[in-house]
Amino acid sequence: MAISVVGHANPDTDSVTSAIALAALLNGQGQEAKAYMQIAEADLNPESTTVLKRFGLKAPEFLNDAAGKEIALVDFSDLAQGPAGLDSAKVVAVVDHHKIGDVTTNSPILFRAEPVGCTGTVLNKMFKEAGVAIPKDVAGGMLSAILSDTVNFKSPTCTEDDKVAVAGLKVIAGVEDTDELFMQMLKAKSAVDGVPAKDLLFRDYKDFDMNGKKIGVGQLELASLDQIAACREDLVKAVKEVKADGRHTVLLMLTDVVKEGTDLVVISDDVALIEKAFGCKLVDGSMWIDGMMSRKKQTVPNLQDVFGC
């Protein structure tokens, strides 16, 4: 049976290109494997669509039921992030760079997780170890994923291994200027024209339970805050509406990845507590926090501290 390789739900560039890359690696080792994703091509995010087009990669097919299949997981190992039927599929491999999730197996499998910035970085090592050449188009996808996941090396999740992988992959992919590639992806990802404010808020949004209080944090990564100047009022209105729907606090991180900082929009029952969390004062409902790039590493921990979690 051919192995179906699939990344997490609501796929990002890493989970799409890593499915393509692991399928290619398995093929290179003589195993039948095919890349899938958990959505239809038409629903793929603008950044990943741009990457696939630039490197001439075919979008993975839609996998909506994993039951009875042999499955390899990339960029996740949580059942909740998998396709329907994953609990009755046979998981044969996991390649990831997140905390270990709750997927279990009955027999030993290939399990490879490393604390690096991107699954693409782990796969780059696996190609080398296997002595399998990375196809040019696949290298382009892996390269893009590393730049995206590490925010062009600026995220605190970025490691030396990610930089080494990029140095090798850019040569194979024929990309001279990785900054230019990153900006192309960023422009696609941060295009806001014609997108309703609430959709922008929910594009990359997570709710957290902090000591019984519901806290929402959305993030928009932008090439410049000018991109959202015209729709900023609508965005704040959307944040207020989501806050009014049973939440203690909603934050929207407007992250300027060029200036390396975040304009943090705050709507909260306890503004003073949020100011304390970040050691900053609100001016007109937001605060600029220099160096803030990562929700996972910089925003959520500060909130957990002041909420006593």
User: Of 203 and 243, which CB lies nearer to Mg ion in the complex structure?
Assistant: 203
110-129 positions binding Mg ion, by CB under 5 A: 119
Count of residues in contact with Mg ion, rule CB under 5 A: 6
* Residues 6+ positions from 141 with CB-CB distance below 8 Å: 13, 16, 17, 20, 21, 51, 52, 55, 57, 120
Question: CA dist 272 to 26, 158, 267, 280, 301, Å?
Answer: 54, 32, 11, 10, 17
User: Of 115 and 196, which CB lies nearer to Mg ion in the complex structure?
Assistant: 115
User: Of 15 and 38, which CB lies nearer to Mg ion in the complex structure?
Assistant: 15
Q: How far is it, in rounded angstroms, from Cα 124 to Cα 171?
A: 13
User: How is residue 81 annotated by DSSP?
Assistant: G
User: Of 15 and 152, which CB lies nearer to Mg ion in the complex structure?
Assistant: 15
Q: How far is it, in rounded angstroms, from Cα 48 to Cα 219?
A: 18
Is residue 75 at the binding interface for Mg ion, with CB under 5 A as the rule?
yes
User: Of 137 and 162, which CB lies nearer to Mg ion in the complex structure?
Assistant: 162
Q: How far is it, in rounded angstroms, from Cα 80 to Cα 16?
A: 18
User: Of 75 and 263, which CB lies nearer to Mg ion in the complex structure?
Assistant: 75
Q: How far is it, in rounded angstroms, from Cα 93 to Cα 90?
A: 9
Rule CB under 5 A: choose which of 5, 12, 123, 142 binds Mg ion: 12
Stretch of residues binding Mg ion (CB under 5 A), selected from 71-79, 224-232, 279-287, 292-300:
71-79
Q: How far is it, in rounded angstroms, from Cα 222 to Cα 82?
A: 29
Alpha helices in the chain (DSSP H): 13-28, 46-54, 119-130, 136-149, 160-173, 178-189, 197-203, 232-244, 271-278, 300-306
Rule CB under 5 A: choose which of 3, 5, 6, 14 binds Mg ion: 14
In the bound complex, which residue of the shown chain has the CB atom lying closest to Mg ion?
A: 14
End-to-end Cα spacing for the chain: 46
Smallest separation, CB 118 to Mg ion (Å): 5
Stretch of residues binding Mg ion (CB under 5 A), selected from 145-153, 238-246, 256-264, 267-275:
145-153
Stretch of residues binding Mg ion (CB under 5 A), selected from 49-57, 70-78, 127-135, 280-288:
70-78
Smallest separation, CB 151 to Mg ion (Å): 8
The two tokens of residue 292 are 């803030």
34-63 positions binding Mg ion, by CB under 5 A: none
Smallest separation, CB 1 to Mg ion (Å): 26
Smallest separation, CB 102 to Mg ion (Å): 17
Binding site for Mg ion (CB under 5 A): 12, 14-15, 75, 119, 149
